[in-house]
Chains A and B, each alone.
Chain A
Amino acid sequence: MAFTISVNQKAYTVDVDGDTPLLWVLRDVLGMTGTKFGCGVALCGACTVHIDGAPTRSCVTVIDNIGKSEITTIEAIGATAPGAKIQKAWLDREVVQCGYCQSGQIMSASALLARNPHPTDADIDSAMSGNICRCGTYLRIREAIMQAAQS
């Protein structure tokens, strides 16, 4: 069945089953590979996108539930003020190692900053503990969020 979704302020029509997770629509159908697959069951956060600004695990969000909501992915997060701040802080603090999980980390962090411009350590723990980084870049992620919050 055909679904029309809005991704990064552009409309796309895709013909997939209604229970298809958004992740695969983005990556495989639309070719937007910045959003990553990590676990498939919302345990790692690698696939995080924003749906109407809320950080959402796209691997368990089915296309049928999206409706007219606006989807923002890593490819466009730099166009938002919190996203740009987070990306800059990520570069300044040299957060990244292998980088695979960082799309999801940046999406979670920019959503945090958008709703809470001055997060505490506890706020960061709460917003970021759903995102696994196997390279263990957590300390720098925390520093970078703090830096972005002050910029």
Chain B
Amino acid sequence: MILDRIASTATESPPSASTHNISRRGFLHAGAAAGGGLMLSLRLPFARGEADAADADSFAPNAFVRIDRDGRVVLTMPYVEMGQGTYTSIPMLIAEELEVELAQVRLEHAPPNERLYANPLLGVQATGNSNAIRGAWQPMRQAGATARVMLVSAAAKRWNVDPTSCRAQNGEVLHAPTGRRIKYGELAADAASLPVPQGVALKQPKDFKLIGTPAKRLDTPPKVNGSAIYGIDARPPGVKFATLAQSPVFGGRVRSVDDTSAKAVKGVRQIVRLDDAVAVVADHMGAAKKGLAALKIEWDEGPHAKLNTADIAAELEKATLTSGAVAQNIGDVGSAMAGAASKVEATYQVPFLAHATMEPMNCTAHVRSDGCEVWVGSQAIARVQAAAAKAAGVPVEKVVAHNHLIGGGFGRRLEADYAARAVEIAKQVDGPVKVVWTREEDIQHDMYRPYWFDRLTAGLDAKGMPIAWTNRFAGSSVIARWLPPGFNNGFDPDSTEGAIDLAYDLPNLHVEYVRAEPPGIPTAFWRSVGPSHNVFVTESFMDELAAAAKKDPVAYRRALLDKSPRAKAVLDLAAEKSGWGQPQPAGSGRGVALQFVFASYMAHVAEVEVGKDGAVRVRRVVCAVDCGTVVNPDTVRAQIQSAIIFGITAALHGDITLQNGRVQQSNFHDYLMVRMNEAPAIEVYIVQNFEPPGGMGECGTSLIVPAVGNAIFAATGKRLRRMPVDSAALKQPT
């Protein structure tokens, strides 16, 4: 998976972790907490396998479990809650082994501190890539189990009995022969002075009490009564409100501003001019917006003033005719292709996409002579801190960054541009200022899911089965900008995920990636990242091969899965539950798609109706998933439902286009979202096993796009090789 590969390919020297001067004792350190409790420090790898790669002589904890004297268990960790349920599922791991009620565990946002909370190989503190549970699974349970053994030892010592005659339950230690019991809180200080036991055995899955049960989300109650505080709700005393206009063409600058009318608006306090943006500061956002509308700004549009999407697509298409970095090579494609009975060739394209989080970009900043304070909701708070420091011109230690709940992340809030903007504006404002982007600014100044162009060829044998597969694709590398050490020799582990390491047994496969950065439009991670593009292409093309071979799409895929029983099992399950093969009404069709990404196996069957006018309705989606051990099955279902809707929005509507350098879409009337009336029925079937957990927040998104495309093919015989769905191409002649 993405970060696994980065961890294993990063060649830069990792920042030294030895500054903590904590010797490595397994991966856990125990000691006294301030206030007299027990504090465990542990290391959550951001990807499996990282622990082995880390320097064995140093130990850099990035999560902390504190058992207070009052018995509360407080967990501080680097992941943030953005709706994916991590704030519930990770405490479940601790509670399971520690033998406490889930309600007894409280979770705190980690403050920004790359030194403490970052992966030492990556140097970032971030929530993304569907890796929270994957990373936390082993160490969090180990921490809980170790703390439990220490608490039991402390109790046994106090009673002067054999620890094996004691057991932990419900937040206390019980001495069964005498019926004596002591609460954890009363034992925490004693436990802190004991040595850390090594190699404490973890529970067998059959003994799990919490893991695998549908626990209630801990973050929900304040979200139904208006009391939850998101970044946009921060209100430091004396705060003013600002909104802004940024150069409508990326790379443009402000030429002149006439602010006479804007200044006359009641409640407008100040106009702030930056090189490439103008902000209006006011007593409330209503006045700021009215002031902004009254500004007369002339822009120097810069070098991209004539740029159109078609130019970018043409450049990318050209790039796929040059060789790129080899992402994966299996067998001998050249010979196999030469000996093929037939060939199938296709090109595919996917558009730029905006994130359109429901909470528009915003950040509150207060710049003082000696430092800076910011209030924000971020997936990568330490990046916000660094960006704020740079913009304010102060050392990073002088920036206090307060993180909040996130009103949608989807990768957008892994960036820190909105924080830098707020600080640039706040530098000219006396006191704190909340900078809120209008929806139009949010959509037109996003950092977009890259546009991709893909060129594929398959060689089929006499029976129509693939014996050779080549895929060369071109597009932006987000990793190369966001995490330069992750980009090595032209290889980008994110951009290629879903195009390589396929579940299918393809004896001769050659995949190349050509990095091609479009001018004049910034790119970023977007929910389901590399697979958001690759799975659409790979699974649509696989469907083309099945059609070329005149075979059933499920049976065709199944024949290639003998070496991947877990993939075959989810395919079979989705086919069975969907009623695959049963007749559909005219104008309707079923499409299947299969993937192995984020360490989870998933199959979707989508049912669509295509109207005579070409309008597509997704009626029903059946999902079968094997994500290894399920921690919270209700969260797995919720994430799959969510990811499917997110992906259908992209498949049916998502298209950010440039004309004369400007993003043409601006709000929800022309950047459409799936709504209640368009939402399909969704059925989720979970394969039960106790393999290590896979990621879950993103899988459903990448997979639904080809499932819908393949269903449209089944309904109409028309193959869509560019997303989003072009209804005009599906319209029936009258």
A137-B283 in contact (CB<8A): no
User: What 1/0 mask marks residues of chain B from 66 to 89 whose CB sits below 8 Å from any chain A CB?
Assistant: 000000000000000011110000
Does B233 make an interface contact (CB < 8 A)? yes
Within 8 Å by CB of B668, from A28, A43, A128, lies A43
B428–chain A nearest beta-carbon distance, Å: 20
Within 8 Å by CB of A19, from B217, B228, B290, B675, lies B290
Does B130 make an interface contact (CB < 8 A)? no
The segment out of B22-30, B329-337, B352-360 that lies at the interface is B352-360
Most chain A CB within 10 A, of B217, B221, B226, is at: B226
B718–chain A nearest beta-carbon distance, Å: 27
Task: Give CA–CA (A37, B434) in the complex, Å.
Answer: 14
Does A106 make an interface contact (CB < 8 A)? yes
Q: Which residues of A contact B677 (CB under 8 A)?
A: 125-126, 129
Q: Which residues of A contact B216 (CB under 8 A)?
A: 91, 94
Q: Which residues of A contact B221 (CB under 8 A)?
A: 91
B130–chain A nearest beta-carbon distance, Å: 15
Task: Give CA–CA (A17, B409) in the complex, Å.
Answer: 34
Interface size class of A (residues with CB under 8 A): 35 or more
Does A118 make an interface contact (CB < 8 A)? no
Known interface pairs A17-B290, A94-B216. Does A27 touch B285 (Cβ–Cβ under 8 Å)?
yes
Does B347 make an interface contact (CB < 8 A)? no
The B contact surface, by secondary structure, is loop
B638-A97 in contact (CB<8A): yes
Known interface pairs A78-B225, A91-B224, A137-B641. Does A24 touch B284 (Cβ–Cβ under 8 Å)?
yes
Within 8 Å by CB of A136, from B225, B357, B436, B642, lies B642
Most chain B CB within 10 A, of A24, A31, A75, is at: A24
B224-A106 in contact (CB<8A): yes
A40-B679 in contact (CB<8A): no
User: What 1/0 mask marks residues of chain A from 128 to 148 whose CB sits below 8 Å from any chain B CB?
Assistant: 111111111111111000000
A59–chain B nearest beta-carbon distance, Å: 9
A24-B285 in contact (CB<8A): yes
B267-A98 in contact (CB<8A): no
A28-B284 in contact (CB<8A): yes
Hey, which bits of chain B sit against chain A, CB under 8 A?
Answer: 82-85, 216-217, 219-221, 223-230, 232-233, 235, 241, 265-267, 283-287, 289-290, 356-360, 405-410, 436, 438-439, 634, 638, 641-646, 649, 667-669, 673-677, 679, 681-682
- Supply 13 A–B pairs (Cβ within 8 Å), ascending by A: A27-B284, A36-B232, A75-B226, A87-B225, A94-B216, A96-B224, A100-B407, A129-B677, A134-B358, A135-B408, A136-B644, A139-B641, A140-B641
Please name 10 further chain A to chain B contacts, defined as beta carbons within 8 Å, in addition to the given A33-B233, A38-B360, A139-B641, sorted by A numbering: A17-B287, A17-B290, A25-B284, A34-B226, A39-B667, A91-B224, A97-B638, A98-B406, A103-B226, A136-B646
